[in-house]
Structure 1
């Protein structure tokens, strides 16, 4: 039988028509001479009715079981009054089947194919082909597909050229660890899978392709979390001769186009907030703030520097800060035990504890309230913007520890107390004027805040000169943030050899190291590179947010788990020693197991 439409699309307009459908048996209800089957495909479910008037078709229905693949032919009829199912598109009709065929049988699935299945994540990943049958997973991947289609259409309409860049490339020190691919032809030499197409797209600008676009696969060997995978996808673009504000306006229109196509949401460019990096850190403790949360971090350092509470006074005296959150109306929602749990969590950021108070009609209450007389308590409440019924949470100490702690507490308490604004479901923001460098605790040295090819602000170029402090420089860089997630990162790039060499020197590259790592780029710049800039939006994160998920694994067909393994195929796996020999390699299995 040739399928005429999808099961999930059959509705009242098909009444009286003959249809041919194919899909999976979601559920079967057998009443002997009458059998009902819910037929499922990627668009949804329709009810099939089999009766003894069509004996051969009924016999097929009686043999069918859940997840059997069947094809049917029949007439669409209206359901009897009172038997409609308004939860599904096809709920007012059913198909009276005249012909049926079993195309494939199925073992009993290891978990039910339904949205609220209770199976663990590892089991679902092991049987991902079953997990992907669930309607919510089908919808998630359709959201991802719609984003990609919309992105392509916009780029085509704005004269961008879609150009692929290599997957097998040179290993260059850009931040994260590379995935390496050994060369059989050149034993002892390796390709690297690209962390991003960054260098190639700059070279494309030098080649005269002033508007490049690619949906690019990228690879980074780093620890995983809910919004990170070892392989991920970027909506990647680069332009020549545009300023940072012009690129941001273009990207704003691009995102506007995607939001309309995918969510039918009318995003207004004037609704995309704009914050400096410093302002974002001061107000929210993070460079990717969730602007749907209606309360902010307040700096109380001046108010409490002479406080009788030694923890606060000493923090300021030692060069640290004291900041606070006033969580609206949350005072009665947290017991001491609940707050202790919050305090334990922020220890991972380096916090040594969580000071707190509650605001009541009588003033401040809580374990540290005794250190604040009425006048000082009034100052604290005014500085924190606190009102009766609020919960006050404090961070005291090193600025970065306080920022990370209060950022977490702001997000968590907003979630706990349903304080996230639902009236404006999508809050975008540009974060601009970034520091050019940041100190990495992991590497124990200064690194580029974005990447080593970011152009400093014009007025800060002198900080790259010898004898100056490069860490005072700010960059022509910009991140696009959505609902507390970094959606994209971009910048104006360095297009002059002299500036690029200074930048690499500031990152402690010797001239020899710079030439070894980036000689092809430095030489290219000597042949007249144009001013350029671009951005990469994370497709996985955007799809996750637009699909209403909280983990990017839910919008990737075959993701890795939190241990960077793929339970279905069991990758990574050992390979035949003969293959290793051809590559001039040996595997130390004992060491790798450790």
Structure 2
């Protein structure tokens, strides 16, 4: 039907007869000559329908409206003097139409695809219309390039693409499973995979050596801007390798992906131990595009004449006292802003937000009265304070302080407008704790129970480290992985520390444990969140902008009205009966 896409045409095509297909983006009648901006996936081109050249085409053009589907034939010509449009790729040319066909009409659309002020629910209900927005199309063109680059890069490194099952069994991986009832085995359920974790380990036990997959994953959890119930990850596993081998391979295919997306990145990436990330930035996914860092001032606060502060500061295992200096902050922030800061951190468990201002005549603030002159001088030295600075303090339980101060750090950077939105700042976070303590005093695996520990015989569980690694970009976790346990005796030690009894082991992981008994090789892997990656590269505000047909924050598809009720007969075939008054 077409000879060219719109933006394939330029001045070199002047005089050529062409056939174009697309939608009416807009139309204008200028004194009998009708101009149509025709849109296809590549962009816009101007059609000119002049009754002098084709009366028939002009008559048809008078009937068109926005979003009508057209097939147009005509001759490319250069636009007249002072009539070029620098905003369009095709702004120097136009097509004089000799034949025009309305292939399909369109009702009046509920919104303009490029109007981003439209209510999101309406846009998601008519997602197929919103996807006509060139900005969204470009996101998916970028996503396609990234997938092709990932496949090519991994194939060049000897990885084999293998699909793993979507219908599997439920395993504990940190979130709720989506369950699928079985018609044949009534009363039993499949689970949709939260990740291909166990299957890719089994492939290593099978001798596949290097595996990858662009895999669909499913998690029934509360949603937010960068989370969907179904998502996609670039899943990689390799045998007879170390952490270094996995990181090197990941850096290579990430570099190739970003190059395909017209972004040059430098490898190797910076590395940072988990403990350093938490102590300096309050996050295991620190945004390093700006330099605000925490300073430990527990020693100074332990000498405070305020017993609350001193008691907190003396227990360095359970508590933290952190300072956060903002250069020239005292000359920037108003009293109202300072109150706003305290309100912000209180939302995340802070009891308050102490601060000291550096004035020409010395330190000022209610906090100063709790320290003697010598300690205040030491504070100035440790924090490298200068006139005009302000320093904020967080004190209390370790987990709470690091959390709210980490959030506050990013909040301040946005208030100060010091984040370079064009920068791509990667960092590997390594040496994660093997276990994390739950609110009820029990422990769970920070990543998953198949992660190889570094020092499994350490008596204090909180000091056991794992050979695990996360890749972080601009404060967003792109993905992560670990070296896996391949020896049954180590796996049993981990299960024992997690209080997972033999019966539960066999029920949930029996097939993997069997594989470990039959010559499992050393193996490790990583998974990169494709949706998050494309969100960051395209500077989208949400992963919903890079997923063709996303769900809402209530996990609904407004376009198809999913989830939905199903006929009673279908439920009967599955052996399921819906209880009344579930609410």
Normalising by structure 2, report the TM-score: 0.95
Structure 2 residue aligned with 1:499, among 490, 502, 505?
A: 490
Change (3 A) 1:362 1:42: farther
Structure-1 residue corresponding to 2:132: 133
Structure-2 residue corresponding to 1:188: 187
Alignment of 1:89-238 (within 5 A): 89-114=89-114, 116-238=115-237
Retained in 2: the 8 A contact 1:331–1:358?
A: yes
What SS is found at the alignment partner of 1:461? coil
Change (3 A) 1:70 1:389: farther
Residue 571 of structure 1 deviates from its aligned partner by 1.0
Structure-1 residue corresponding to 2:457: 462
Retained in 1: the 8 A contact 2:298–2:314?
A: no
Separation (CA, whole Å) in 1 of partners of 2:361 and 2:18: 72
Change (3 A) 1:339 1:501: same
* Structure 1 unmatched runs, 5+: none
Residue 239 of structure 1 deviates from its aligned partner by 0.2
What SS is found at the alignment partner of 1:286? coil
Separation (CA, whole Å) in 1 of partners of 2:414 and 2:386: 20
Residue 388 of structure 1 deviates from its aligned partner by 3.3
Retained in 2: the 8 A contact 1:311–1:396?
A: no
Separation (CA, whole Å) in 2 of partners of 1:590 and 1:210: 52
Change (3 A) 1:23 1:585: same
Change (3 A) 1:482 1:181: same
248-257 vs 296-305, greater mean Cα deviation? 296-305
Change (3 A) 1:391 1:11: farther
Retained in 2: the 8 A contact 1:8–1:42?
A: no
Structure 1 residue aligned with 2:501, among 493, 497, 510?
A: 510
Separation (CA, whole Å) in 2 of partners of 1:37 and 1:90: 13
Separation (CA, whole Å) in 1 of partners of 2:127 and 2:569: 31
Change (3 A) 1:60 1:297: farther
Change (3 A) 1:569 1:399: same
Retained in 2: the 8 A contact 1:276–1:433?
A: yes
493-502 vs 527-536, greater mean Cα deviation? 493-502
What SS is found at the alignment partner of 2:456? helix
Structure 1 residue aligned with 2:573, among 568, 577, 582?
A: 582
Residue 94 of structure 1 deviates from its aligned partner by 1.5
Alignment of 1:374-453 (within 5 A): 375-421=374-420, 425-441=423-439, 445-453=442-450
Retained in 1: the 8 A contact 2:68–2:106?
A: yes
Residue 477 of structure 1 deviates from its aligned partner by 0.7
Structure-2 residue corresponding to 1:24: 23
Structure-1 residue corresponding to 2:550: 559
Separation (CA, whole Å) in 2 of partners of 1:8 and 1:386: 57
Residue 175 of structure 1 deviates from its aligned partner by 1.4
Structure-1 residue corresponding to 2:513: 522
Change (3 A) 1:373 1:473: closer
Separation (CA, whole Å) in 2 of partners of 1:27 and 1:382: 65
Retained in 2: the 8 A contact 1:111–1:117?
A: no
Separation (CA, whole Å) in 2 of partners of 1:26 and 1:364: 62
Separation (CA, whole Å) in 2 of partners of 1:427 and 1:556: 24
Residue 471 of structure 1 deviates from its aligned partner by 3.5
Separation (CA, whole Å) in 2 of partners of 1:363 and 1:69: 72
Change (3 A) 1:398 1:577: same
Structure-1 residue corresponding to 2:479: 488
Separation (CA, whole Å) in 2 of partners of 1:368 and 1:93: 69
Structure-2 residue corresponding to 1:298: 295
Separation (CA, whole Å) in 2 of partners of 1:370 and 1:15: 80
Structure-1 residue corresponding to 2:55: 55
Separation (CA, whole Å) in 2 of partners of 1:396 and 1:334: 22
What SS is found at the alignment partner of 2:48? strand
Structure-2 residue corresponding to 1:88: 88
Q: CA RMSD in A?
A: 1.9
Change (3 A) 1:589 1:233: farther
Retained in 2: the 8 A contact 1:294–1:420?
A: no
Change (3 A) 1:385 1:99: farther
Change (3 A) 1:331 1:20: farther
Residue 213 of structure 1 deviates from its aligned partner by 0.6
Normalising by structure 1, report the TM-score: 0.94
Structure-2 residue corresponding to 1:533: 524
- Give CA-to-partner distance per residue, 1:335-386, whole Å, 9 cap, x none: 3333333333333422122223333333334454555566544433332344
